[in-house]
Homo-oligomer: A and B are copies of this chain.
Amino acid sequence: MKSDRRKDAAAAVVLLSGGLDSATAAAWARDRGYRLSALSIDYGQRHRCELDSARAVAASLGITDHITMAVDLAAFGGSALVDTSVAVPKGRSHDEIGQGVPVTYVPARNTVFLALSLAMAETRGAEALVIGVNTIDYSGYPDCRPEFIDAFATLARLATQAGVEGRPLEVLAPLATLSKPEIIRLGLALGLDYGLTTSCYDPDARGRPCGACDSCLLRAAGFAAAGAVDPRAAAV
């Protein structure tokens, strides 16, 4: 990865949720030499404590241009992640996770997040958006798939002044084809402190992970397969 380092300091905006994947994507982009701005979204998620994690991750990566923007997707309803009347599924098997679209899907979430990161990118003159989606060990959301990312990249070039003027604008999804253990090994190789990240969809009032939602289960399986200890789990 070092040999791939950019010589110029092109700007990029990274979507930072506070979770494992987006933190790894940010560490990857920093290693690639991008000058990073970060965007986190307070969308009414029940696991809003992840925004504290996002701030900690941004600080650990030296990102000073970090905006946390409020967008009340809960006003639309329709997801267990923003609607406390809908239960978060627990204890599903690895085969069940990723089959069909689960109730934790937040309608059009990544479209909204990428759109906002595009707005931020235009004001920063950024050449890239960075998003930590992946489709190997994932929750079965349609807006994580490579074809979705490609369609957004096409849209981004048509939507913006940068695109009109022919300036580059890429959408980078460096984790797209990585398994969860591969993501974790990448992050550890880049010196990322996963103890700063949080992944749980349904943490308790003190932010401690439930250990049973899809996201907790994927994370635990990933650390086990990577032969690594999750510092977040160890700290609880």
**Which A residues lie at the B interface, using CB under 8 A?**
67, 69-73, 75-78, 101, 105-112, 114-116, 118-123, 142-143, 145, 147-148, 151-152, 154-156, 158-161, 163-164
Residues of B within 8 A of A123 (CB): 76-78, 107
- Closest Cβ of chain B: how far from A119's Cβ, in Å? 4
Residues of B within 8 A of A78 (CB): 122-123
Residues of B within 8 A of A151 (CB): 151, 154-155, 158-159
Interchain CB contact (< 8 A) of A111 among B75, B115, B143? B115
Beta-carbon nearest neighbor of A117 in chain B: B108
Interchain CB contact (< 8 A) of A160 among B108, B152, B163? B108
Beta-carbon nearest neighbor of A158 in chain B: B148
Q: B76–A120 contact, CB under 8 A?
A: yes
List 6 tightest A-B contacts by C-beta distance, closest first. A107-B122, A78-B123, A108-B119, A115-B115, A108-B118, A151-B155
Residues of B within 8 A of A148 (CB): 155, 158-159
Q: B73–A119 contact, CB under 8 A?
A: yes
Q: B108–A76 contact, CB under 8 A?
A: no
Residues of B within 8 A of A71 (CB): 69, 71, 116
